[in-house]
């Protein structure tokens, strides 16, 4: 049996460890301990090609969609209006506006954009086709300036703003990961962009589904106590569940978590097809990871070549949290 493999080390700041080679029936890490051979110079060929995937934090474009409906001046912890003379009342807007300003300033490697909805100065359900601050590498000062004049209005045209964000992101011509971050305090309205007195959860869900299909996951922060309806919106947008936020701490935590998730991934695309998909083996910090769709690893079902692997469950969570120091993936084959 001839062995041909190489090593890569993974961390939040390093490359992924991928090994590709003929491993026979030996333990994959036993073979991985053998000296590296140069396939071009050896007398026998390797079963699999050597590949390298950089998994350091990726460049990302995040378009923030910030709700400016009138309920944003209600209490962060209860459904009471802070503008009605309430005592010791901290509004939702007062909490989220500085938090958005801070996350943008603290993450200059991310290209940020900002769309307020409804659009300031527009009709009750109006949403501009372009954001107030476009995606760019130096948008922090423009976002800060826009947030400094934050005001509220009647409606929550969520479907319209997600559709506008999707159309806009399709025109951003860079190779960065792209995502939509929706921060809102409640039920969408303005179906078809028309009437703010009519709920439009269905339209918002359809818009989130379309965004996900276009490659733009929709992350949802639910600000305030009455946002349980947002679970279905996050699911439609491909992000599982919304981030509940009834405190400044929770808002900050949600924004930080989303910024991290968008720039990292648990999905790794190889540039070669495994010689035998039944002999693919994955280790994290020298511990075997089970092939398990819910908690371990799986082949991406969307890739018919079986060259994309996805970490799932707690293994993915550990990776995104920076708790993993090394990942090894072996695409093996039996001896000829």
The per-residue pLDDT for 18 is 45
Handedness of CA 56, 250, 202, 124 (dihedral sign): negative
Pairing assessment for the beta strands 177-184 and 60-67 based on DSSP bridges? parallel
Residue ranges per domain, the chain? 17-56+265-331, 60-263
60-263 maps to CATH 3.40.50.410: yes
Instruction: Look up the pTM and report it.
Output: 0.73
Strand duo 218-223 + 111-117: pairing: unpaired
Task: State residue 285's pLDDT score.
Answer: 80
| pLDDT of res. 322 | 64
Kindly tell me the sign of the dihedral angle through the C-alpha atoms of 203, 206, 211, 217: positive
d(CA 180, CA 291): 31
Query: Which residue in the block uniquely carries the two structure tokens 């390797």?
Result: 46
The pLDDT of residue 256 is: 92
**C-alpha closest to that of 217 among 243, 184, 239, 244:** 239
Residue found under tokens 């209490």 = 75
Q: What is the pLDDT of residue 7?
A: 34
DSSP class per residue in 96-141 = HHHHHHHHHHH-TTSEEEEEEESPTTS-TT---SS-SEEEETT-HH
Give me the tens of pLDDT residue by residue for the chain, a chain 336 residues long: 323 333 333 333 344 444 444 433 333 444 433 222 233 332 222 454 334 455 566 789 999 999 999 999 999 999 989 876 677 899 999 999 999 999 999 999 999 999 999 999 998 899 999 999 999 999 999 999 999 999 999 899 999 999 999 999 999 999 898 999 999 998 999 999 889 999 999 999 999 999 999 999 999 999 999 887 899 999 999 888 999 999 999 999 999 999 988 887 787 777 677 888 888 888 888 889 999 999 999 999 888 988 888 899 998 888 777 676 677 777 776 654
Q: State the Cα–Cα distance between residues 231 and 66, nearest whole angstrom.
A: 17
């Amino acid at each position: 049996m001839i062995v041909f493999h190489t090593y890569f080390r993974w961390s939040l700041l390093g490359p992924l460890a991928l090994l590709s080679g003929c491993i026979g029936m030996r333990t994959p890490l036993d073979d991985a301990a053998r000296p590296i051979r140069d396939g071009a110079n050896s007398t026998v060929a390797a079963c699999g090609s050597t590949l390298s995937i950089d998994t350091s934090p990726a460049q990302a474009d995040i378009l923030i969609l910030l709700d400016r409906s009138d309920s944003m001046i209600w209490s962060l912890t209860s459904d009471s209006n802070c503008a009605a003379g309430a005592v010791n009342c901290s509004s939702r807007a007062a909490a989220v506006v500085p938090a958005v300003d801070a996350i943008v300033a603290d993450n200059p490697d991310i290209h940020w954009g900002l769309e307020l909805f409804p659009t300031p100065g527009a009709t009750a359900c109006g949403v501009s086709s372009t954001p107030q601050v476009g995606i760019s590498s130096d948008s922090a000062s423009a976002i800060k300036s826009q947030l400094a004049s934050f005001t509220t209005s009647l409606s929550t045209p969520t479907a319209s703003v997600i559709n506008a964000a999707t159309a806009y992101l399709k025109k951003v011509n860079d190779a960065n990961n792209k995502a939509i971050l929706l921060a809102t305090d409640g039920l969408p309205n303005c179906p078809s962009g028309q009437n703010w007195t009519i709920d439009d959860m269905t339209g918002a869900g359809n818009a989130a589904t379309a965004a996900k299909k276009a490659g733009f996951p929709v992350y949802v922060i639910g600000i305030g106590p009455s946002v349980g309806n947002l679970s279905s919106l996050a699911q439609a947008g491909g992000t599982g569940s919304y981030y509940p936020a009834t405190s400044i701490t929770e808002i900050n935590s949600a924004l930080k978590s989303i910024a991290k998730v968008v720039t990292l991934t648990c999905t790794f695309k190889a540039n070669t097809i495994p010689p035998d998909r039944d002999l693919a083996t994955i280790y994290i910090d020298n511990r075997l990871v089970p092939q398990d769709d819910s908690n371990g690893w799986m082949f991406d079902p969307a890739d018919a070549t079986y060259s994309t692997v996805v970490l799932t469950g707690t293994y993915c969570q550990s990776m995104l949290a920076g708790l993993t120091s090394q990942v090894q993936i072996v695409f093996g084959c039996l001896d000829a």
